[in-house]
Structure 1
């Protein structure tokens, strides 16, 4: 049987710079939802639990991912959340109905516990404030509690709770998905814009050093997109530093070729938000540029039906527990590539979420832990995708699918770490039938040698990992070579690849 082959070309040059990559682009998200916290990061009595009841097996995997920033506590949950419920003596904390997820929140884990956990995994916290049922007063009080050194009511209360030093949380989200009809306290664009602007103003009076994220649309499919961005930025432009983007994809039609093309939609979403931000910059004659925080992105659809059967008002029910396939990992790899290619404006991003809930890490309550298929592109891109994103010139064969035209078989992103003298290419071959041979002009990287090619591939696009068996895992191959300034890379059909080069020592 003859192996079907296509060919593509790339040109990479050190001078084709997009931007320095902000490490925060590899952030994640923990919401007080399902088993993300209880049975995920926190489990009293677990064999690996530390002195604060945090699972050390989870801590180890999160540290492997090198997650720089983690959003908390929501998400939809935050829009009816009273932060005061989650501080102080645990025995006196109230149990509350979580209206967002039809669950019972015990508040055993709250702000201080989460900040302590984030330090253990070497991540900073991105804190969200409730602009659904609450507003300016609760937000400024929470900020004072977290960041003020002492000598005031809220900062002294933090000290009474055992945290003498301020948490110094720098990034704050002004609410969550406030355009969504599912949101507790949904707002019109005008209502949200005014509330967010005044809340942000008060917060920056408490701590001028913080960075604020204004709510963008809940997804590119919202009927008010991008009018929502334009109208809310009329009010928040000068107080906000970022605007948020949220997007999830799913292969509901069981059409792999069309599914893997969804990053074209993601790319267009980002470009439209950038254009809207820059329109507002021009309209306001502002010298300030609003950057993007893509603080919810992932695949989410596998668990939709099973979530309808969950018993209401239960504690830590198994909600949103998607079990990811190999093709999901391919799309996640391409979504990371898309973020890198927009690193000039996307300065923060959060894979939603981190543990158990639509997550790369899964645990058994009381038991073991395992890596989902999507863990691997996230891991390699986070660890090796640090430095400067480079624009590459690409000539790739294309295909048409149900929803997209001119979809390149080759999806790629390039990172140059000048300090480490390392060049890294992340590449996805979307073809379901043909391997792709890519000739890459790397003449500006004279003396660079191939270090490794890591491949994630599987014959079955629907293959999944379980705690019993890891069917989808990376392997090293020797399919690529360098000759006369050309790197020839062989990408097997339906594969995610990391090709790493390093300058030879003299």
Structure 2
């Protein structure tokens, strides 16, 4: 057992909690859309074909925003294929995931689903095989009120009022050689800037996301960001970041410290963007849209990838990773990192929402259930309110092969001044030792008590949830937690994620 401690003070804030931190991602990939969010004929399907069991889980998950329709898929997508009578829509090849896209679900269907789910849509534009005119066209269809050809086409398709989409991604991962329409930083930066300026001519208040590196391991990482932003800095509002994590060669110690890499990723992109802004003498500050992040067993996917296949299936089972206790703890720690950087990371999307490396799994015609990673996301989304507080834990370190010495405990906290609630989110990364945590909370000037406390941990780090056993791994009330004399005390099991909400000492809190 090791000791860890820190102090909280409402004066030491990072930034307000951004609700957009709790975004997700729906791509036309695998079974995310078809038999994921959409399955006509399913026992829970509504009149529009959307699975009611999935919608209920999305609401419970607390998703605020969804990036759509890709992903690699978008770099070959023709948005107009997905509007108008379904019977008239063409079937197309999707080169990104080597499958067929029926276009049964398109813009209007997805926007209808988003309304039912209560989520904002961040729309991704195809800048791989298309360009400025197509971006203007889809914006016109989505947002222009009336009289223009595409606005009238939307109205003819049954949607009278514009959708009012505020956020647009200027392409996806165009630094990657795997991307249809892959470009150099110079080529992409020029196209992104042209597209951004054209969109602003149509609607000045749009929020635009330019593509950053597709991972921090790319050989062009930060050089790509610098060159793209030299051209596009003043035309955009965000630069994207993408990161996926997995245990490599059984190295659980490094895997549990994945947030160290996320912290470094954010710091590097912020430093690069600020450097370009300074060179350009701009008073503007770019934020980060971390619009793809998760645990992904990428090496398993690459090992199974059959590049010589001649088959073109519809909605195949693709990267349907089954998540463990350890994966859930890492997801909880990545959420801690995102909150810690709320001053610059104001949008984030866990990839993806259903079936494809997702917190929600389904079976066609059957059940929908929560994967282990569902629980830290849902609880963090529900409890993180108000201002993010600075947290500086004092604790031992442990050695990792990838990151060197890392803190055995990581944490962040939030404070809601309206309710007085203080919530602590904490991860014990140590594989064999429990942590005794003490947190000084006297700085809030009120007596606080534990309102609720949750811990996700298990003696079997590889335990998973399945359709037959959907609640094998859940977050349970923390066994040992209390507040006495202005100090929160808790015992945290090895390899665990916990959330503790404190409220004022009022029976109604």
Q: Shared fold by TM > 0.5?
A: yes
Q: Is the 8 A contact 1:307 1:319 kept in 2?
A: no
Alignment of 1:438-449 (within 5 A): 438-445=437-444, 446-449=446-449
Deviation at 1:406, TM superposition (A): 2.2
| Separation in structure 2 between the aligned mates of residue 358 and residue 316 of structure 1, nearest angstrom | 15
The answer (yes or no) to whether the contact 1:452–1:478 under 8 Å persists in 2 is no
Higher mean alpha-carbon deviation, 474-483 vs 390-399, is at 474-483
What CA RMSD, in Å, does the superposition of the two structures yield over aligned residues? Answer: 1.2
Distance, in Å, in 1 between the alignment partners of 2:440 and 2:105 is 52
CA offset at residue 305 of structure 1?
Answer: 5.5
Structure 1 position 475 matched with structure 2 position 476 = yes
Question: Whole-Å Cα distance in 1 between the matches of residues 122 and 310 of structure 2?
Answer: 31
Q: Distance in 1 between matches of 2:407 and 2:460?
A: 22
What's the offset of the Cα at 1:480? 1.3
Instruction: Answer yes or no: is the 8 Å Cα contact 1:25–1:349 preserved in 2.
Output: yes
- Whole-Å separation in 1 of the counterparts to 2:385 and 2:153: 39
Q: Partners in 2 of 1:504 and 1:453 — Cα distance?
A: 16
Q: Could you tell me how far apart the structure 2 residues matched to 1:331 and 1:161 are?
A: 44
Q: State the secondary structure of the residue aligned to 1:267.
A: helix
Q: Residue by residue, what CA displacement relative to the aligned partner does 1:308-340 show, whole Å, maximum 9, x if unpaired?
A: 258731000001101111100010000000000
Distance in structure 2 (CA, Å) of the matches to 1:305 and 1:130: 25
Residue correspondences, number: 502
SS in 2 for 1:238: helix
**Candidates 93, 96, 100, aligned match of 2:92:** 96
In 1, the alpha carbon distance for the partners of 2:97 and 2:451 equals: 47
Unpaired runs of 5+ in structure 1? none
Match of 2:423 in 1: 424
Report what 2:384 is aligned to: 385
Alignment match, 1:408: 407
Match of 1:308 among 293, 305, 309: 305
Question: Per-residue displacement from partner, 1:467-496 (whole Å, max 9, x unpaired)?
Answer: 111221111134112222211111111111
Equivalent position of 1:40 in the other structure: 36
Instruction: Sort the Cα spacing of 1:501 and 1:352 in 2 relative to 1 into closer, same or farther, 3 A.
Output: same
* Cα distance between partner residues in 1 of 2:420 and 2:467: 38
The aligned runs of 1:335-374 (5 Å cut-off) are 335-374=334-373
Check if 1:433 corresponds to 2:429.
Answer: no
Describe the SS at the equivalent of 1:459: coil
C-alpha distance in 2 between matches for 1:163 and 1:235: 37
> Do structure 1's residue 123 and structure 2's residue 122 form an aligned pair?
no
Deviation per CA, 1:142-194: give whole Å up to 9, x if none. 00010000110111110011100000000000000000000000000000000
Once structures 1 and 2 are overlaid, which stretch shifts more, 185-194 or 246-255? 246-255
Listed as ranges, the matches of 1:280-291 within 5 Å are 280-291=276-287
Answer whether contact 1:355 1:361 (CA < 8 A) is retained.
Answer: yes
Once residues 112 and 215 of structure 2 are traced to their aligned partners in structure 1, the CA distance between those partners, rounded to angstroms, is 32
* Kept in 2: contact 1:133–1:185 (CA 8 A): yes
Is 1:52 paired with 2:48?
A: yes
- Number of the residue aligned with 1:490: 491
- Following superposition, the deviation at residue 95 of structure 1 comes to 0.1
**Correspondent of 2:58 among 62, 66, 76:** 62
Between 1:200-209 and 1:98-107, the stretch displaced more is 200-209
Give deviations 1:352-400, integer Å, cap 9, x for gaps: 0000000000000111011100000010011111221000121011011
